[in-house]
Chain A
Amino acid sequence: MGVMEMMSETSAREGEASMYEYVEGRDFNPVEKVILERRSVRRYREEQVPEGAVRRILECGRFAPSAGNSQPWRFVVVRDRKMLEGMERAVRLRCRVFSFLLDWRRSPLGRLALLNSRLFIRLKRNELAPAPFASITLIALGKLRLFHGAPTVIFILEDRRGAGKPHVDVGICGQNMVLAAHSLGLGTCWVGFIELLRYSPYWKRRLGVRYPYRLAEAIALGYPVGKPDGMVARELQEVAWFEDGKCRTVL
């Protein structure tokens, strides 16, 4: 008997609705709570995460859906403070170079940096969108830390030979792990800036990033300082809803 049948049978006996059932206006169930209360954590306690917890989180990544069940990922776990600090330094150095070339507000290049930024933003529209552009400077200045002091980091390498869209599958797999971690009382933060380690032959070799693998994302993991989780307000999304031959907009 599957979990769902077991759950609905128990609840039928108790005369209440099972978790695997939609009841209008009902309070959020534990899974919804984990999803809605999860926030990105950017301040961690020194205390290391138990190995078992990390293994358990990786297990949730292993069971993520992927195109053609191709599982286009490889996990690299780093719990070595020295290594994490080394990677932070490497990324910071690269941010300083980019900041020098692009940040017209601070770079001694002045107007040339402004022209550079106008060109490079057009060439790298996602990487240099306003938010990451600002973060490059913050990391370069040492105001923003790459892993926010997390004691454990899970790197996800993407297998470029994956079926369909391996980068999407990597995201699905990572979010599985992030939600699992949150459900275990741990904090996480997606760290996309490890992309800059692609420019470091040393760290690529050290982490085993070679064909067919590509550094995709990292997830910082640790016990949060304070209680950073909770539900917050977010922009509503305008949804186009087709039904009964008509289309309406749903907010």
Chain B
Amino acid sequence: MAVRERFSVPRYDDAALVRTGRVEVDEEKCNGCGMCVSICPGKALFLAEAGGKMVARMVQAELPECVACNDCAAACKREAIGAVRGCDFGMYYKALHRGDLCPPRRF
């Protein structure tokens, strides 16, 4: 970690510095039950109308809300939602020594 990073804190609403987690919703599979919306710890999801039905969508906010915990993916009965990107808050909070998202492996 560079010295400059150690001493600088990102502005949390600056998208150039902060990369939040991101979930993707398969709108074909999503039936708008709202389970993911109610359990999301960052309240990063909401229900929106799309093509005549309700589907879960990610909130477009300035502050990091999704931390890629994937609780939504675990709770979804239809496997319609899941994180596709981990979060990295940058500078002082930069994620170190991390790889891509991967389910548990059997060695």
Mark A residues whose CB is within 8 Å of B.
24-28, 36-37, 39-43, 105, 118, 121-122, 125, 129-131, 133-135, 137-138, 143-144, 226-238, 251
Contacts and interface: CB of A to CB of B under 8 A. Distances in A.
Contacts of B92: 125
Contact of B77 (A39, A118, A122, A227): A227
Interface size class of B (residues with CB under 8 A): 35 or more
B56 interface: no
Contacts, number: 114
Interface of B: 9-10, 12-13, 18, 35, 38-43, 62-65, 67-71, 73-75, 77, 82-83, 86, 89, 92-93, 95, 97-104, 106-107
Nearest to A104: B13
A177 B10 CA distance: 36
A237 to B, nearest CB: 6
What DSSP secondary structure best describes chain B's contact surface? loop
A235 B75 CA distance: 19
Contact of B99 (A28, A143, A236): A236
B42 to A, nearest CB: 6
A40 B62 contact: no
A238 B102 CA distance: 13
A122 B104 contact: no
A238 B100 CA distance: 10
A237 B65 CA distance: 22
B101 A24 contact: no
Contact of B73 (A43, A122, A232): A232
Q: Give 9 nearest A-B pairs by CB, closest first.
A: A236-B99, A232-B70, A238-B97, A230-B74, A233-B101, A228-B75, A235-B98, A42-B39, A130-B89
Contact of A228 (B10, B39, B82, B100): B39
A251 B42 contact: no
A232 B76 CA distance: 11
Contacts of B107: 24-25
